[in-house]
Structure 1
Amino acid sequence: MRTLACVAVALAALVTPMAVAKSNGRGDISNPDDSKPLPTNENKRLTAENELAGRALKYLGKPINRKTLCSEAPKKPSICDDSLLYRSADGTCNNQLNPSSGARLQSYRRLAGYSYGDDFSSFRQAVNGGELPNARLVSLAVDIKPPTASAPFSLLLETFGRLLFQDLVNTPQVVGSEGEAIQCCPKTGRLPVKVHSECASIRRSARPFAQTRQTCMEFVRSAMAPRCESGPRDQMNEATAYLDGSWLYGGDQQEMASRRTSRDGQLRIKVSKKGVEQFPPQSDAFELTPVFRTAHILGNAKPAVAALSLTFARYHNYVAQRLKTINPSSNDEELFQESRRVVIAQLQHVTYSEYLHKILGKAAMDEYQLTSPKGELHSNDYDPGLDVATSSEFATVALLFSNGPISNHIERLDSAGIVTAMDVSAEASLEDVTEAPSELLRGVSRQGASTTVFTKEISAILFPNTDPVSLDLAALNIQRGRDHGVPGYTAVREVCGDKVETFQGLADAMDQAAIGSLQSIYQDVKDVDFYVGGALERPVAGGLLGRTFTCVLAEQFSRIRKGDRFWYETSNKDSEFEDDQLRALKNTTLAGIMCGAFPDLQMVQPKPFEVVSAENPLVSCDSLPSVDFAAWKPKKD
């Protein structure tokens, strides 16, 4: 067992189909207390599969044949240190039997196999051999309600879900030869002379969008994961499969180093032109641009996600300050790595003790063993033989839907209780709407999630110096499932132990009105897209999602918990928290993190995922449970 007094080891150490991977460079972290760079084995830890994916991303958009790509793939083995206390940034060496398991740049796992029209890459076909109905027409035909439509939850629940999405999913998209976005739809109503082979635009001339009258919706396929043998098309995940705060700390050592101040374990925090601390300077997901790019998976949710991201960045610095006070002799590397370890543990605790209970319900939490072991402080169910890779069904469909739709407005709430509603569907500067992050966080935690809807049309700017275009997010999600070869709803439902052969067989899971809408657009029940069928299911008892989405999410979160050697409750002697430290960490609440990051909040409801009510009243930050960092005080010999 370790304390902060141990000598820290410098280690290698994102969310969306719109994210595009860039250089995969590596670099050491410098220690300001020592001019020599700290040791790292990151360059030697990448397996052939990792390196192959990294090389493919460097060639993204450029012509290269498989023979050339595979001839460059290294064959060296991974090198891991058995006694590493801190997890790597890229996920390598978490599993010492299979060092690349769960690491970034891995292909997605498949729960229900592949479903391509040609068994290799083309979109899934209908049972009768024809094309599936147009994704836009499907969206118009079915009434998909958000998972939080009738529940007393706050907008913070959906915001936290989007942060988890960033942590676990980052699928690169095909780009042009110079790294530019590919434009698939014509500007004049006629097709371009040459359409990129990876375009799969959604066209429907009979039902144009009302605002723009356009009949074509942009859609570019996700990049194909490289492979040196024949097989169906896979997509790769640039994020790790572990719940490790990679959206905050970076996905490789170079990115992590760029986010650090190299002083007292602190993270860099961006300061606006008006002198206000804002979102961390991280990935493109938070890049400051003049206008929101609503085509990004975060879309109009970006201000809320930015505020929550800043909350965790500020809280990391708060933890580092506390640890520095307890042990003034600690250097930057020790403070940073231990603070990161603590914050990741708290992120895991909040996710499994506060968030998932509301999404999945008690039955699924118990069935998939997602709760802390009763009567035991540490868990001993780590399984190194478990494949922790993120499933395509989870990443492409289920987790995406569970985040909820986009809100047309976000409320800022100041300390005097004055509400300022911001219309984030209009063109707005991200800096303007995040100029008061604590007010934004206070507003998001008290604004009801039921104010959001799955709109059939939003306006977005996709390309520089162009007019806004119209998008249908449900249609895009349906199309993305087909792009990734995700099998239909009934196939995934069968994997979850619930086989169905006819439309009327769906009556035990959804209402007759929903079944009727499916029959109006699909010829066969087996044609129904997973996104659509799963979204129309009645929620399980105590949860927000239907049985199939609940199954897919619970299955993945079970793997995340049991397949992580650094899980915060682990009993692994190399990486476990000491007993008093773990007891302290289990006092963590999201409300406490919010107060620690923004003391000016002063008051918050104990359950921030729910709106303020008689059962969930505002209380003083001082009255909330807190983590006793005295547990990190060096032990006397």
Structure 2
Amino acid sequence: MIFSGRRRKYPRRKCQEMPQPINGDGDGWSWCVYKKPSALSTICKIHQEPRGKTHRSGEDKTHDIALNCGVCICASDMNLSTSLFLLGLCSMFSCLAVSGSKAKELTRPFIVDAFKEAKQIVDDSYLYSRKTSLERVRSSDFVKPSDTLRLMKQPKRKSREAVRAADYLEQTLRIIAERTHHAHKRSINATALLTLEELELIAKLTGCAAQTLPPPCRTTQNLNRYRTASSVCNNERNPLQGASNTAFTRWLPPVYEDRISEPQGWNPGRLYNNVVLPLVRLVSNRIFSTQDRNVVGDNEFTLLITFFGQWNDHDLSFTPMSPSIRSFSNGINCDDSCERSEPCFPIQIPRDDPRLPSGPNNCLPVFRSAPACGSGYSAYMFGGVPRVREQINTLTSFLDAGQLYGSEDGLSRDLRDLSNDAGLMRVNDRFKDNGRELLPFTRVVSKMCTTRNRIQNTTGLEEVPCFIAGDERVDENIALTSLHTLFLREHNRLARALRRLNPQWGNEQIYQEARKIVGAYHQIIVFRDYLPHIVGQEAMRRQLGRYPGYNANINPTISNVFATAAYRFAHATIQPVIFRLDENFQENQRAPSVPLQLAFFTPWRILFEGGIDPQIRGLISRPAKLNRQDGILVDAVRERLFAFTSQIAQDLGSLNLQRSRDHGLPSYNAWRRFCGLSTPRNVNELARVLNNTDLARRLIQLYGTPDNIDLWAAGIAEPFVTGGRVGPLFSCIIATQFQRIRQGDRLWWENMGVFTLAQRSALNRVSLSRIICDNTGISRVPRNPFILSRNLASFVNCGNIPGTDLSPWQESKDRGRKMASDENEISREKQSDEDPEELLENQVSRE
């Protein structure tokens, strides 16, 4: 509860301990609410006094109360008269020390002025950052990997609105705190000075309040039949649960250095269990390094395991970076400085690095993930309790093929062909792949994908823009782009078949029914064909067996630990090459296999070098890289990530660890404890867990104790579970997440009423092999494309792969007319929701 001269109430709730500090100087005060007064009334708890003084429960020490009366900080477990005396004293000092100034300063005009200043700072920074980045990738002959990574991770549309609102809020509170600091000559937490009404005003001004408003589920059409693009109203009691542009959930409390927002490693010299955390690049060098010549192929699974995993991951999570490339507080450009200043969180280079120069002015630019509204220092008091910094997931938490269709209304409409009644997805109007459809081009022109002449060291070759799809990362590599194209074609194939079955259907119904079928295909393939090879037999039996039905009390929201660490396991299965094969599954002489670092952001390879078939053949017939403890990441992602030129490349291993620290993920041991696994205390116990004494020693030399080890650093190195390709810890986390996704999805394909019994029976026949047969020129496929075939003779003709019978979707003409009114509505709603940065992008495109 916030106290001021105008607000003194006694909420009748039990005390709640807040594990993070309230004031900005790191003092560990607890957050206090009140029980109903009684003979032993608990006013509040204090676990650490500022300046090192300690007030324990029951101690009557009041001399510093005035410094902390902006929040309730008094004493606890004392008799009623003492409690009321201290409360009165706290309120009195509040009026004198705080509220007197508030009467002069924290008026509505003062707050509005602070918001206007914050808005100007944020808007100017966004526009500067976007313009600078676009100019670099549009006009420069060399695209820096940091620019590529940043542009790829930028929030768009509604996601940018959510991130912008969070930045407005944080900067408004920072300005209020700075102005009141000048008045009081001491550090004051802005949220400690503001009443709930004032915080609510700021939340409305900044747009954060709008981010938490429940959508109008009752007026949403066909809510029980089709998913909304953003998945709002999937849970009708908690409409935002699992929706796009909401915060990741947490299964364990985060670990921030100030217990609110600062990442681990933010403050140089900070000790963890009496040890300084190692530089993430040093861990990458000593634990993850693999030279390409030492790569060992997996003798059980194909490379499809790797890239289908990436395709699936891009359906579930996308964490945008901060849109600003310079600090809001001091204007430092993150590309030009190695200083840690929000949002700059650079990767420091250790001494004797094999590739990069070390020193205080040498680093890899990295930007913090954008915060969610009302978290971290910008904590808007939802429910009266401050919140630690959380990160936004711009995608839905459901297996809904959002990477194909988009996770918000505006993008979903843009990806559709609304020129006719066929229910189709928009396709490329300039190029075909042997008569088959290709993804459309983005309208934003940049040099991020115009890499053809640079990579081939020539001039005069035709360049093309990037493709566009439901997920921004579609162009990240040509194997991923090929899978996007495959499912785009499958949607349009289904839409045409449904239209032949039901000529009375209009555009909207055809589109939604085809989308619904593709979503069901995706769910079936992931659970039946993919996950067993990842999490292993025991996890499948224990958590992912027979469908138990929908449970509205289960939260399907993607967890931070799943998105930031566990589901990045497939990085260790990436081969250093994208295999491209001819009709006989041999090396393609016209378009040979390409090194991975030369397959990033190269859509022209699909247009001018044989389409998607060569990549698909490589995915289903060549092995994935085997994740070994002596060879975790190949050089293509550890030393040459997004390196189109001689510019300094990024390091995926370092990025994984830096991102985990940025998000406040607890340590390896904390997560083993969460999963009910043993928690090694020394090198010998760690060696038994990893079955590798040398690796355990190297980890302890870096971290000092198993309690300090970054989750991904040791989790990725655990021996595989039986039948899987991750260790026990990642198996637990991944299986738990998918268990919650399935049971918390009201529109899961097996849930009663989503499909008819006949439709469910037909859907069960789907196979990824059949989808490949229907949408490529490939005529022979393995029955299970995830399993590595010992010889090509085991491949079967497409004519022997059963398909899905669509006859259960045939309807009478009268039933099909019920969605006709939706057609014109969709067309009317197709309008621009561009903000200033998007207008800038379109201007650049026209130029």
Match of 1:224 in 2: 371
- Whole-Å separation in 2 of the counterparts to 1:532 and 1:176: 29
Of the structure 1 ranges 120-129 and 356-365, higher mean CA displacement relative to structure 2 is found in 120-129
1:60 Cα deviation from its structure 2 partner:
5.3
SS in 1 for 2:594: strand
2:232 is the counterpart of 1:92: yes
- Whole-Å separation in 2 of the counterparts to 1:299 and 1:323: 27
- Whole-Å separation in 2 of the counterparts to 1:616 and 1:135: 46
1:447 Cα deviation from its structure 2 partner:
2.0
Match of 1:261 in 2: 417
- Whole-Å separation in 1 of the counterparts to 2:404 and 2:809: 23
2:501 is the counterpart of 1:364: no
2:477 is the counterpart of 1:289: no
Give the direction of change, closer, same or farther, for the CA distance of 1:315–1:447 in structure 2 (3 Å limit).
Answer: same
SS in 1 for 2:158: coil
Match of 1:246 in 2: 402
Give the direction of change, closer, same or farther, for the CA distance of 1:323–1:474 in structure 2 (3 Å limit).
Answer: same
SS in 2 for 1:152: strand
Match of 2:650 in 1: 471
Match of 1:568 in 2: 749
Give the direction of change, closer, same or farther, for the CA distance of 1:367–1:401 in structure 2 (3 Å limit).
Answer: same
1:64 Cα deviation from its structure 2 partner:
3.6
Match of 1:531 in 2: 712
2:174 is the counterpart of 1:174: no
Match of 1:46 in 2: none
The answer (yes or no) to whether the contact 1:167–1:245 under 8 Å persists in 2 is yes
Match of 2:94 in 1: none
Q: Deviations over 1:587-627 (max 9, x none)?
A: 011111111222x1111111111233259821111101210
Q: Deviations over 1:344-397 (max 9, x none)?
A: 0000000000000100111101111x23x3xxxxx5521101111111110000
- Whole-Å separation in 1 of the counterparts to 2:699 and 2:388: 29
1:577 Cα deviation from its structure 2 partner:
0.7
1:55 Cα deviation from its structure 2 partner:
4.0
Q: Which has the larger radius of gyration?
A: 2
* Residue 803 (structure 2) aligned to one of 626, 631, 634: 626
1:446 Cα deviation from its structure 2 partner:
1.5
Match of 2:107 in 1: none
Give the direction of change, closer, same or farther, for the CA distance of 1:421–1:238 in structure 2 (3 Å limit).
Answer: same
The answer (yes or no) to whether the contact 1:62–1:177 under 8 Å persists in 2 is no
Of the structure 1 ranges 434-443 and 256-265, higher mean CA displacement relative to structure 2 is found in 434-443
The answer (yes or no) to whether the contact 1:62–1:176 under 8 Å persists in 2 is no
Match of 2:248 in 1: 108
Query: What residue ranges of structure 2 are gaps of 5+ in the alignment?
Result: 1-147, 174-198, 265-269, 375-379, 456-470, 815-847
* Residue 202 (structure 1) aligned to one of 341, 344, 347: 347
SS in 1 for 2:300: coil
The answer (yes or no) to whether the contact 1:147–1:402 under 8 Å persists in 2 is no
SS in 1 for 2:597: coil
1:127 Cα deviation from its structure 2 partner:
2.9
- The letter of the residue matching 1:383 is N
2:565 is the counterpart of 1:397: yes
1:437 Cα deviation from its structure 2 partner:
1.0
The answer (yes or no) to whether the contact 2:242–2:396 under 8 Å persists in 1 is yes
1:59 Cα deviation from its structure 2 partner:
6.8
Give the direction of change, closer, same or farther, for the CA distance of 1:138–1:424 in structure 2 (3 Å limit).
Answer: closer
SS in 1 for 2:749: coil
Q: Deviations over 1:14-56 (max 9, x none)?
A: x99852112229xxxxxxxxxxxxxxxxxxxxxxxxxxx8443
* Residue 23 (structure 1) aligned to one of 157, 169, 174: 157
- Whole-Å separation in 2 of the counterparts to 1:283 and 1:588: 34
The answer (yes or no) to whether the contact 2:306–2:574 under 8 Å persists in 1 is no
1:483 Cα deviation from its structure 2 partner:
0.5
Higher relative contact order (CA 8 A, sep 6+): 1
Mapping of residues 298-309 of structure 1, within 5 Å? 302-309=477-484
The answer (yes or no) to whether the contact 1:280–1:313 under 8 Å persists in 2 is no
* Residue 234 (structure 1) aligned to one of 385, 390, 399: 390
- The letter of the residue matching 1:500 is T
- Whole-Å separation in 2 of the counterparts to 1:469 and 1:205: 15
The answer (yes or no) to whether the contact 2:348–2:363 under 8 Å persists in 1 is yes
Q: Deviations over 1:277-302 (max 9, x none)?
A: 43355799x997124999x9969961
Match of 1:134 in 2: 279
- Whole-Å separation in 1 of the counterparts to 2:536 and 2:295: 13
Query: What residue ranges of structure 1 are gaps of 5+ in the alignment?
Result: 1-14, 26-52, 374-378
Give the direction of change, closer, same or farther, for the CA distance of 1:58–1:514 in structure 2 (3 Å limit).
Answer: same
- Whole-Å separation in 2 of the counterparts to 1:155 and 1:226: 39
Match of 1:65 in 2: 172
The answer (yes or no) to whether the contact 2:275–2:704 under 8 Å persists in 1 is no
- Whole-Å separation in 2 of the counterparts to 1:288 and 1:218: 18
Mapping of residues 270-419 of structure 1, within 5 Å? 270-271=428-429, 273=431, 277-281=437-441, 289-291=449-451, 302-368=477-543, 370-371=544-545, 373=546, 379=547, 381-419=549-587
Give the direction of change, closer, same or farther, for the CA distance of 1:562–1:141 in structure 2 (3 Å limit).
Answer: same
1:406 Cα deviation from its structure 2 partner:
4.0
The answer (yes or no) to whether the contact 1:591–1:605 under 8 Å persists in 2 is yes
- Whole-Å separation in 1 of the counterparts to 2:762 and 2:149: 34
SS in 1 for 2:640: strand
The answer (yes or no) to whether the contact 1:204–1:216 under 8 Å persists in 2 is yes
Give the direction of change, closer, same or farther, for the CA distance of 1:351–1:152 in structure 2 (3 Å limit).
Answer: same
SS in 2 for 1:449: strand
Q: Deviations over 1:186-214 (max 9, x none)?
A: 4xxxx47x765321211225133527889
- Whole-Å separation in 1 of the counterparts to 2:369 and 2:601: 28
What's the TM-score, normalizing by structure 1? 0.82
SS in 2 for 1:255: helix
- Whole-Å separation in 1 of the counterparts to 2:149 and 2:672: 25
- Whole-Å separation in 1 of the counterparts to 2:172 and 2:643: 30
Aligned positions, number: 577
- Whole-Å separation in 2 of the counterparts to 1:76 and 1:237: 17
- Whole-Å separation in 1 of the counterparts to 2:357 and 2:490: 43
Of the structure 1 ranges 526-535 and 500-509, higher mean CA displacement relative to structure 2 is found in 500-509
Give the direction of change, closer, same or farther, for the CA distance of 1:237–1:636 in structure 2 (3 Å limit).
Answer: closer
Give the direction of change, closer, same or farther, for the CA distance of 1:176–1:76 in structure 2 (3 Å limit).
Answer: closer
SS in 2 for 1:93: coil
Give the direction of change, closer, same or farther, for the CA distance of 1:487–1:428 in structure 2 (3 Å limit).
Answer: closer
Aligned-CA RMSD value: 3.6
- Whole-Å separation in 1 of the counterparts to 2:297 and 2:279: 26
The answer (yes or no) to whether the contact 1:16–1:169 under 8 Å persists in 2 is no
Q: Deviations over 1:127-150 (max 9, x none)?
A: 335531110111122247899954
The answer (yes or no) to whether the contact 2:273–2:708 under 8 Å persists in 1 is no
Give the direction of change, closer, same or farther, for the CA distance of 1:269–1:179 in structure 2 (3 Å limit).
Answer: farther
2:342 is the counterpart of 1:184: no
Give the direction of change, closer, same or farther, for the CA distance of 1:382–1:422 in structure 2 (3 Å limit).
Answer: same
- Whole-Å separation in 1 of the counterparts to 2:443 and 2:358: 34
Give the direction of change, closer, same or farther, for the CA distance of 1:401–1:516 in structure 2 (3 Å limit).
Answer: same
Give the direction of change, closer, same or farther, for the CA distance of 1:352–1:577 in structure 2 (3 Å limit).
Answer: same
Match of 1:432 in 2: 604
- Whole-Å separation in 2 of the counterparts to 1:525 and 1:567: 40
- Say which structure is richer in helix: 2
- The letter of the residue matching 2:423 is G
- The letter of the residue matching 1:510 is L
1:513 Cα deviation from its structure 2 partner:
2.3
2:689 is the counterpart of 1:509: yes
